[in-house]
Amino acid sequence: MTQYPDLPAIVAHRGNAAEFPENTLQALESAVELGVKHVEFDVQLTSDKVPVLFHDADLNRVADRPESVHELTWAQLGETPVGEPKRFGQRYAFTYPPSLAQAVNAVAGWDGVTAFVEVKRSSMRKFGRETVLRRISDVVKPALQRCVLISFDLPSLKILRAMTGARIGLVLSAYDDAARAEAAALAPEFLFANLERLPQGREPLWPGPWEWAIYEVRDLATARDCQARGARFVETMTVRGLLRAYEEHRRRW
């Protein structure tokens, strides 16, 4: 992998989701093949409580179907194409969602790759925290050292840390004094924030025991601005484009 020590590390948001359907093995594999060492994906539970890679609670956006992921069994969901027809047409008509077990197995085989595993709140609302967290913890156990468990749900992160000893990351719903106090009390290894939620300007990000990862970053200038404010990671769906911009920067300097 080409190293860019003067630039923030890239996290592939739901994989290389600009070129492949999000949260699929193809999207994750593409990001790794491009040289990225950090990937992120979302986890929901099916009706029979199998953890699967899925962002939304329903299938509308990725499968053009009305069902909820929580209403389908893993056998049913695993045979449902999720090729994002509204975005890609029929190009990925035979692309299917992976289970978390399949993704963990892939991560275990990728040398030096870290996975940020986001536990979705809609699953916890449907099945309860304990059920969701135990199911996910059991599945990631074989590759726990290669995973960081992240969520918007602060209580879940406390439970996951106690349950597994894993590294955790808090995804901020807001960037304000209350969120800062919660982060300080939790002291996660990572803090994730949407670029659009940060205050304008170049005010440094909150200092603390965590590493910052700023998501929805699409270009070199924004990545460098995030780094100047204290972020060591930027998360993007446009993996190839940002890597290309990094390489052009390296050649110039």
What percent of the chain shows pLDDT beyond 90? 95
Total number of domains in the chain: 1
**Inside any domain, residue 68:** no
Residue 93 lies in a domain: no
Statement: the pTM of the whole predicted model exceeds 0.75:
yes
Residue 178 lies in a domain: yes
Does residue 46 lie in a domain region? yes
Enclosing domain of residue 123? 9-55+98-252
3-state SS string over the chain? Answer: CCCCCCCCEEEEECCCCCCCCCCCHHHHHHHHHCCCCEEEEEEEECCCCCEEECCCCECHHHHCCCCEHHHCCHHHHCCCCCCCHHHHCCCCCCCCCCEHHHHHHHHHHCCCCEEEEEECHHHHHHHCHHHHHHHHHHHHHHHHHHEEEEECCHHHHHHHHHHHCCEEEEECCCCCHHHHHHHHHHCCCEEEEEHHHCCCCCCCCCCCCCEEEEECCCCHHHHHHHHHCCEEEEEECCHHHHHHHHHHHHHHC
Alpha carbon distance 52, 78 (integer Å): 9
Domain assignment present for 1: no
Q: How far apart are CA 194 and CA 198, in angstroms?
A: 7
Report if residue 199 sits inside a domain: yes
Identify the CATH number of the domain in which residue 181 sits.
3.20.20.190
pLDDT tens digits, one per residue of 71-127: 999 999 999 999 999 999 999 999 999 999 999 999 999 999 999 999 999 999 999
Average pLDDT over residues 22-45: 98
Classify residue 83: in a domain, yes or no: no
Q: Residue 101: which region, alpha, beta or left (left: phi > 0; alpha: psi -120 to 50)?
A: alpha
In a domain? residue 85: no
- Interval 163-215: pLDDT, tens: 999 999 999 999 999 999 999 999 999 999 999 999 998 999 999 999 999 99
Q: How does residue 2 score in pLDDT terms, banded at 50, 70 and 90?
A: low
